[in-house]
Amino acid sequence: EIVLTQSPGTLSLSPGERATLSCRASHSVSNSYLAWYQQKPGQAPRLLIYGASSRATGIPDRFSGSGSGTDFTLTISRLEPEDFAVYYCQRYGDSPLFAFGPGTKVDIK
């Protein structure tokens, strides 16, 4: 099973700062099959990034994804107040077919 690990567990930052979130896989994941989601309290997750680096429809360009193989990164260039949330990476392939990382919480410093 390809396990996803996210770090840090919590990231405390101020609005306007840059956030760098890491997602590491225990074995290589195809770029095509790595996605990122944002979840706010009481809401469903929302797709941010698919194919490791493609922004979903309506996602601001301050969100960007990068990486390959076992190391992937979600970057928020300048945090807006609405960006404080939990972020999950997700992979496809292996067994189970889909799995999520444990999440990184971005909270206000």
Partner 1 sequence: QVHLQESGPGLVKPSETLSLTCTVSGGSITTINHYWGWIRQAPGKGLEWIGHMHFDGSTHYNPSLESRVSISVDTTKNHFSLKLRSVTAADTAVYFCVRVVEMATIHFDPWGQGTLVTVSS
Residues that bind partner 1 (CB under 8 A): 32-33, 35, 37, 43-47, 50-51, 54, 56, 88, 90, 92, 95-103
Q: Least distance in Å: CB of 60 to partner 1?
A: 16
Q: What is the spatial distance between Cα 105 and Cα 28, in angstroms, rounded to a whole number?
A: 24
Q: Least distance in Å: CB of 17 to partner 1?
A: 25
- Is 2 or 17 the residue whose CB approaches partner 1 more closely? 2
- Is 15 or 82 the residue whose CB approaches partner 1 more closely? 82
**Nearest Cα to Cα of residue 18 among 49, 64, 55, 56:** 64
Q: What is the spatial distance between Cα 71 and Cα 108, in angstroms, rounded to a whole number?
A: 26
Q: Least distance in Å: CB of 15 to partner 1?
A: 26
Q: What is the spatial distance between Cα 79 and Cα 86, in angstroms, rounded to a whole number?
A: 13
